[in-house]
């Protein structure tokens, strides 16, 4: 049936505005003012975004299945100990879905591109908070349970999600003047929450010695997740392998595709480790750890989502305002957020 449908044509880097350029990707670009239908049809043809979309869209259903399994198999309504896992799994559903939608519809216009990725950044911020909530509930080493750090860990993580979303969105503006600085800001926006969220885990795995270090079989899964997380960061920052051979990895094998694949695999190992810690440590944590409440699980997540949506709205206002004034493509290209921008 697809053979009867005329698929959108693809373009080279010289045929699309600079705002749509990707580092070392020469061909496979979609039309910079695609319709929503064209964007959806492009899912079924090979472009430089096709695998970016599918490598996050398909895992969304896997994480949704895991979420439904927990909801249906556990007494989540009365067992508050499962709430951190619920928040984490919900964030695991949201972030790949938001990413796949952003990559799908980002070529509708320059405004749409920026706004799509604003939502992508907000979803990643939620995922970082979901990780922190489960680490506080299940992963934190015995030595740190009920410590001052433990008590303020979730509030600080919520603040970090706000900073992460705001800094990542702002990085798209700063990229207009300096693409490298914009990319640095975006890496910083997600590196800081990740490093903070993982302080209890890094201490548990690499620094803690003696009693209370929570040395169990789950640590091997945590090591795997950390290795994959650093690999995804390396791929995102270096644009390898396409930087070594521009044009050779336009459709298959470029860094953002690998970034998606290894990121999802890392999330899978993270989920396995969290669930194993949850089951193994449950009796001890229920006795000695901080109580798990609505405010430090679902409430914190709802607050984070509300604040992130507010930030996204504020950053989107200039774009939406200019659109209501009837600006067309030429003026869009002169908009301060679009002019000369180059990003991943």
Per-residue pLDDT 10s for the chain (344 aa) are 445 577 889 999 999 998 899 999 999 999 999 999 999 999 999 999 999 999 999 999 999 999 999 999 988 989 999 999 999 999 999 999 999 999 999 999 999 999 999 999 999 999 999 999 999 999 999 999 999 999 999 999 999 999 999 999 999 887 767 778 888 999 999 999 999 999 999 999 999 998 899 999 999 999 999 999 999 999 999 999 999 999 999 999 999 999 999 999 999 999 999 999 999 999 999 999 999 999 999 999 999 999 999 999 999 998 888 766 654 444 444 444 444 444 33
The confidence score (pLDDT) of residue 329 equals 46
CB 247 within 8 A of CB 22: no
The confidence score (pLDDT) of residue 1 equals: 47
pTM of the predicted structure, to 2 decimals: 0.92
DSSP string, 56-110: HHHHHHHHHHHHHHHHHHS-TTT-GGGHHHHHHHHHHHHHHHHHHHHHHHTTS-H
> What gap in Å lies between CA 289 and CA 209, rounded to an integer?
20
The pLDDT, as a whole number, for residue 288 is: 96
Give yes or no for a cis peptide into 241 (omega within 30° of 0). Answer: yes
- Scan for tokens 């959108």, then name that residue: 8
CA–CA–CA angle 139, 142, 148 (5° rounding): 90
Supply the pLDDT for residue 32: 95
Whole-number pLDDT of residue 6: 78
What pLDDT score was predicted for residue 334? 44
pLDDT of res. 336: 43
CATH class of 50-334: mainly alpha
DSSP string of 329-341, one letter each residue: HHHHHHSTTTTT-
Positive or negative, the Cα torsion across 91, 95, 101, 102?
Answer: positive
Tell me the domain boundaries of the chain: 50-334
* pLDDT of the residue at 326: 54
The residues, ordered by sequence, that sit 6+ positions from 20 with a Cβ below 8 Å of its Cβ are 29, 32, 107, 110, 113
264 Cβ contact list (under 8 Å, min separation 6)? 55, 56, 59, 96
The H-or-E segment that residue 28 falls in is strand 27-29
């Amino acid at each position: 049936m697809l053979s009867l449908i005329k698929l959108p044509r693809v373009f080279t880097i010289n045929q699309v505005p600079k705002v749509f350029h990707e580092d070392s990707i020469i061909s496979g670009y979609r039309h910079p003012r695609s319709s929503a239908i064209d964007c959806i049809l492009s899912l079924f043809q090979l472009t430089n975004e096709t695998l970016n979309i599918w490598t996050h869209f398909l895992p969304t259903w896997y994480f949704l299945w895991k979420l439904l399994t927990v909801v249906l198999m556990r007494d989540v309504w009365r067992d508050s100990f499962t709430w951190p896992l619920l928040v984490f799994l919900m964030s695991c559903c949201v972030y790949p879905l938001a990413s796949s939608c952003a990559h799908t519809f980002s070529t509708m216009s320059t405004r749409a591109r920026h706004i799509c990725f604003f939502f992508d950044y907000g979803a990643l911020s939620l995922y970082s908070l979901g990780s922190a909530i489960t680490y506080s509930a299940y992963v934190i080493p015995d030595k740190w349970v009920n410590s001052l750090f433990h008590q303020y860990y979730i509030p600080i993580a919520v603040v970090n999600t706000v900073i992460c979303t705001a800094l990542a969105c702002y990085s798209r503006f700063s990229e207009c003047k300096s693409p490298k600085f914009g990319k640095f800001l975006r890496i910083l926006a997600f590196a800081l929450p990740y490093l903070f969220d993982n302080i209890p885990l890094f201490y548990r795995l690499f620094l803690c010695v003696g009693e209370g270090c929570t040395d169990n079989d789950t640590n091997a899964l945590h090591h795997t997740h950390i290795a994959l997380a650093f690999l995804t960061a390396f791929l995102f920052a270096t644009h390898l392998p396409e930087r070594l051979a521009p044009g050779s990895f336009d459709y298959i094998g470029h860094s953002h595709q690998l970034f998606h694949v290894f990121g999802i695999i890392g999330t899978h190992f993270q989920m396995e480790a969290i669930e194993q810690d949850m089951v193994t440590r449950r009796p001890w944590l229920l006795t000695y750890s901080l109580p798990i409440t609505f405010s430090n699980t679902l409430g914190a997540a709802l607050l984070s989502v509300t604040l992130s949506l507010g930030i996204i709205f504020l950053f989107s206002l200039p774009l939406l305002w200019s659109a209501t004034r009837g600006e067309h493509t030429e003026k869009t290209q002169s908009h301060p957020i679009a002019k000369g921008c180059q990003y991943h």
